Amino acid sequence: MSEPILSAAEIAKMQTPIWEQAKAAIDAGGAETAKELIDRAVDQWSSLQDYSINWITSLLTFISEEMGEEAVERALRSTGETFVRPRRTSERPWGDLPAAQRAKVIARSMLANMGAVAVSEDDEKIILEFECGSGGKLVDDGRYEGEHAYATLAERAPRTFDRESMWVYCAHCSVNNEIQPVEWGDVPTSIEFPPERAGDPCVHHVYKDLSAIPDTAYARIGKRPPRAGSGDEGQ
């Protein structure tokens, strides 16, 4: 057998995640080395995230072009039932959580998605304005323009928030975050306003009193607002 080309140290490094290397550096007193390793881990995650987002969007674009926009909604609904709904299921319904907690969960998720968030508040709601690290980034990067552009949904429907157009990736916001939660007997995760052009933020309204959510927010997703004691779950 020929001489190995990888040293034992190289193999150990290849087998150890960067964050574990960062922990080891901290334990060894190498704070600067740990910071560099954390930055490298973030860069690697960002690259993999970008790959995954484009993979998802190219698949949704294929579905739209080959089978139509309604098929995109069916695909997203399938994901919602098999993946999103189990993650949302807990002993305490989303709508029973205090508004501050709901807002913190959403903000934390968007920051983990390589985004940035500005937080403000008025009498009725918490307002989260995101520089979105996924759908918004695709828009800002021009991926819906030029050769091999991703699909833009153009059939006005609940899946487009009743808009005349919607970036195909952002349709999961209407289907999985608002339409399906209402159908499951809960409330929308938040009331979302995806960007309409490059540079726009993605805005989420988190209502302190869920009964204050405007009827128009339900109408745009093809639902009726639930009424206390009526048994109407927004269908």
The predicted structure's pLDDT at residue 229: 38
**Any domain includes 50:** no
Six-digit token string for 196: 């309409």
**Any domain includes 23:** no
CA distances from 113 to 50, 116, 183, 215 (A): 10, 9, 26, 30
The predicted structure's pLDDT at residue 234: 55
pLDDT of 232 above 60: no
**Any domain includes 32:** no
- Residue pLDDT, tens place only, 161-189: 999 999 999 999 999 999 999 999 999 99
**Any domain includes 53:** no
**Structural domain range at position 175:** 68-219
The widest CA-to-CA distance across the chain, in whole angstroms, is: 78
Backbone angles phi, psi at 130, to 5 degrees: -105, 140
What is the domain count for the chain?
Answer: 1
**Any domain includes 163:** yes
What's the pLDDT band for 235 if we cut at 50, 70, 90? low
- Residue pLDDT, tens place only, 14-41: 999 999 999 999 999 999 999 999 999 9
**Any domain includes 155:** yes
Distance CA 109, CA 57 (A): 20
**Any domain includes 145:** yes
Question: What is the total residue count of the chain?
Answer: 235
Q: Where are the alpha helices (DSSP H) in 119-213?
A: 135-140, 171-174, 180-183
**Any domain includes 202:** yes
